[in-house]
Amino acid sequence: ISICRDLPNVEVITFSVNGISDLKPLNQCQNLSELYLRKNNIASLNELFYLKNLPRLRVLWLSENPCCGSDPHRYRMTVLRNLPSLQKLDNQAVTEEELSQALVDGEEITAPPAGRNVENGCPEPAGSSAAESTTETESELLNFSLEETNKIREELGMKPVPRDKFSSFSPRETDCNRKTRNNVLNAILLLTKELDAEGLEIVQQTVGRRLQAFRKKELQEE
């Protein structure tokens, strides 16, 4: 997610199911309002240190990361104590009562993580076979990445991707290749928002030529 360092104006980021462990690149995204990081490799709640100075962050989805631990109440209270401006955490609305309780039950985070054992990328699946991991990831990508990708497309004024089109992107890819493809797609969508009209026209022309080349190739193969 190092690309985020070059996207200070980005407002919505979705990187669910991508093996992410380090949130430091996000501390430059001062306009970020929605962040989807479900089911990654974020090991410590101290990673929230990098989100504390994002003034517009209102939606965070962090569930099913190692940092959530075995105590849901402590996890939620700690997140809300450090990010009191959140309006929704893990798809659940934040209440005034919770924010008050978080001052008592939550742990204040004052420093970044001391160290990391997992690098961003495509980690080996743990606790299950590779086949089980791939099947689970396919389901997660369909159920959540489609929703989150379409949310970005909506922000960009683009039409949503139909479910059948989304699932046909990579029916037999390996888990790592699928994550890489998803990262590239999300990065392109995020970068598109940074372009002016002239830049968007260049992208449109380039994509048009690329699509024509693919269609020509498909016709030749038929």
Taking only the tens place, the pLDDT of each residue in 15-52 is 888 888 899 989 888 999 999 999 899 999 999 999 99
Higher pLDDT, 124 or 29: 29
Helix (H, G, I), strand (E, B) or coil at 59: strand
Of 73-82, 175-184, 201-210, least confident by mean pLDDT is 175-184
- For residue 144, the model assigns a pLDDT of 52
Q: Is the pLDDT of residue 77 over 60?
A: yes
Of 34-48, 101-115, 158-172, 198-212, least confident by mean pLDDT is 158-172
Q: What's the rounded Cα separation, in Å, for the pair 204 and 188?
A: 12
Q: Tell me what the pLDDT averaged over the chain comes to.
A: 76
Mean of pLDDT values over 133-160: 58
**What percent of the chain has pLDDT above 90?**
34
Q: Band the pLDDT of 176: cuts 50, 70, 90.
A: low
Nearest to 180 by CA among 18, 6, 13, 2: 18
Q: Is the pLDDT of residue 135 over 60?
A: no
Q: Is the pLDDT of residue 155 over 90?
A: no
Residues 6+ apart with CB under 8 A from 116: 21, 22, 43
Q: What's the rounded Cα separation, in Å, for the pair 122 and 141?
A: 15
Of 156-160, 198-202, 206-210, least confident by mean pLDDT is 156-160
- For residue 200, the model assigns a pLDDT of 79
- For residue 162, the model assigns a pLDDT of 66
Q: What's the rounded Cα separation, in Å, for the pair 160 and 164?
A: 12
**What percent of the chain has pLDDT above 70?**
65
- For residue 216, the model assigns a pLDDT of 76
Q: Band the pLDDT of 129: cuts 50, 70, 90.
A: very low
